[in-house]
A and B are shown apart, each in its own frame.
Chain A
């Protein structure tokens, strides 16, 4: 868990994502096999994700997902404070959707484990189609229970609990335009900081001019996010989509997310591009790159993700339909091969790079470039 912010939250994202139901219609039967690779900032994470979804009877659909992160990390945190390491995280997800009339009820369960972090998440959601199926209202709830450990101390075990409440409204606006509005509140309680990470403080007695002490976060956090997304069918066969999200939490983090995407089919090919801009205008109130002295504040953190920051992301992808939907092959209705590249460029506005050897106070701000590659095959049956 050393490289990540909120490992349990990742499980929650996956359970919500995989169990997303479409009111009134069960999701298609399909199987996906994905290989993912993240490479940037001294961190390499790769592994498979396998998903299988199958309808049983007329009204129930089951989904299972197996996901692995194989991590090799020499990130800036690790390089400046510890030794490079490798670890593996495995995750199982199970979900069920039950359709009755215009109502879909979904249950989900996710469990993940790694050497120093165990997470379990249970979720439940209800979707209702209304007004001639023009409107879909979704209410969701998820409960996460995590145990945070330390790989160098088998006696260390701390609990974290998480609750997620969501409400979503999807609306057909015209025959070419669909929009969705989502509101999500997530509340955490327990051990929320990283047990390995430290903050630095000015220390005239040290040769570097600073020393380190462990992070100490508040034991509660509540966040609110509201997102609006719309997708438009252009006058020719192509789709344009836009998204905006506002985020705020009790740690004083505030951010805006904008994105615009374009999908263009061409024979058996479908091309996709998306630009996303994330602006974290306010960092956590207890974040500081350099505290003035030891124990300077009640709470302290130096996680770069808690700093004010901005990031730009460009995603380009292509999908090739090698088993055509109009022909099929044996019991397979359609098959696609997909590849995408996502380039991240992140500027941290208050987190400095201490690995350059520059004198105290003159270290440059940290900048991260990372690439994400996804290769996956999908089959509908």
Chain B
């Protein structure tokens, strides 16, 4: 038991070193720009019609107790 416990800090150190090493290397985009044609299709837009979605969102907020974190905040797929 004590032997196994002694290995734990070394394992954690190794894990931390691996994470640190991974953080230093650039992350390879796993979906390449030329593979984003479907995401760039207008039917995939997260907020295709802002004037309409803002209106319907305010109808929801007037009729319900909840508010926020709904709809298309954020957005963008870098595919244009």
A residues adjacent to B (C-beta < 8 A): 3-6, 9-10, 13-14, 16-18, 20-25, 32, 34, 36, 38, 49, 51, 65, 67, 127, 129, 131-134, 136, 138, 140, 164, 166, 168-170, 172, 174-176, 178, 180, 182-186, 223, 225-227, 229, 231, 233, 237-239, 243, 245, 247, 249, 253, 255, 257, 263, 265, 270, 278, 280, 283-284, 305-306, 309, 311, 313, 315, 338, 340, 342, 344, 346, 368, 370, 372, 374, 376, 378
Contacts and interface: CB of A to CB of B under 8 A. Distances in A.
Interface of B: 27-31, 33, 35-36, 38-39, 41-44, 46-47, 49-80
Nearest to B52: A374
A180 B54 contact: no
A263 B46 CA distance: 12
B46 A180 contact: yes
Given A136-B74, A184-B73, A255-B64, 13 more contacts: A16-B73, A20-B75, A131-B27, A136-B77, A138-B74, A138-B75, A169-B74, A170-B75, A182-B73, A186-B67, A223-B66, A229-B72, A376-B49
Contacts of B60: 278, 313
Contact of A183 (B63, B69, B80): B69
B73 A253 contact: no
A336 B6 CA distance: 68
A14 B69 CA distance: 13
Contacts of B36: 172, 175
Given A172-B39, A245-B69, A346-B63, A136 B76 contact: yes
8 contacts: A21-B75, A225-B68, A239-B41, A239-B44, A278-B66, A311-B63, A374-B55, A378-B51
Contacts of A9: 61, 67
B70 A243 contact: yes
Contacts of A342: 56, 59
B78 A23 contact: yes
A170 B54 CA distance: 19
Contact of A227 (B41, B44, B70): B70
A14 B28 contact: no
A282 to B, nearest CB: 9
A4 B74 contact: no
A376 B73 contact: no
A170 B77 contact: yes
B53 A338 contact: no
A98 B24 CA distance: 30
Contact of B29 (A10, A131, A374): A131
Given A134-B78, A237-B43, A344-B63, A34 B55 contact: yes
B65 A233 contact: no
Given A127-B74, A172-B39, A175-B39, A10 B61 contact: yes
Contacts of B57: 13, 17
B47 to A, nearest CB: 6
B66 A255 contact: yes
A253 B51 contact: no
B62 to A, nearest CB: 5
A257 B74 contact: no
A185 B66 CA distance: 11
A311 B50 CA distance: 24
Contacts of B47: 17, 20
Contacts of A175: 31, 35-36, 38-39
